[in-house]
Amino acid sequence: MKARCIPLLAIGLALLLPACSGKAGAETAGQRIKAATTYRLTTYPPGERRRPKSWKGPSLSIGAVRSSDFDGAITVVNFWASWCGPCRLEQAELEKLSKEYGPKGVRFVGINIRDTRVNARAYLEEFGVTYPSVENQDSSIAYKYRVLFIPTTFVLDERGRIAARVTGPTVEKDLRAVLDAELAR
């Protein structure tokens, strides 16, 4: 009996460990969203920028949030989940930047994917997030932005086009440089 239990236990642990590591994701629209383990910043010149499809989602606080709410403003869109370790690492920097760049007209919005409402709200409270976050359990908004990993952060220009994409935990100095360049345009 013990000989049979060990292989079954090993198989069970092999299936369980990826889920515990924070790298497990959820299938959505033919893609797999998982926690990013590397950092990559991509910037796009104005002639090569695309505008993501419009979206609407329930706020984790009150009411609904729409992509059109950010029209005409440089906007930072951050995809996150409470279970994502790299998301937790970057949150303090994002909040700091939102307070610094908010008076300059830069808007921030979080898109919470594949999470429970209770866990997402606890995360927002834990980190003192002051900008709006949208509940997006089915990852339909992430699909519109072509998000494969979280955290992924986008900087949208004033026309709503993607000026930059950060995959992995945001590095404050890089995001600051992108925002400063967009504000100087």
Q: Give per-residue pLDDT as tens, 74-83.
A: 999 999 999 9
Where does residue 27 rank: exposed (0-12), middle (13-18), buried (19+ CB within 10 A)? exposed
Non-local (6+) Cβ contacts of 106 within 8 A are: 73, 74, 75, 76, 98, 179, 183
E strand map for 29-72: 31-35, 40-43, 56-58, 64-66
pLDDT at 183 over 50: yes
Q: Are strands 149-150 and 31-35 parallel, antiparallel or unpaired?
A: parallel
CA 67 to chain centre: 15
CATH code for the domain defined by 25-184: 3.40.30.10
pTM for this model (two decimals):
0.80
Element (H, E) at 167: strand 162-167
Measured distance CA(52)–CA(142) in Å, rounded: 10
Instruction: Kindly report the number of other CB atoms within 10 A of residue 146's CB atom.
Output: 12
pLDDT digits (tens, 9 = 90+) for 145-176: 999 999 999 999 999 999 999 999 988 999 99
Residue 175 contacts residue 74 (beta carbons within 8 Å):
no
Average pLDDT, the chain: 84
pLDDT digits (tens, 9 = 90+) for 30-46: 345 666 667 899 999 99
The pLDDT, as a whole number, for residue 70 is 96
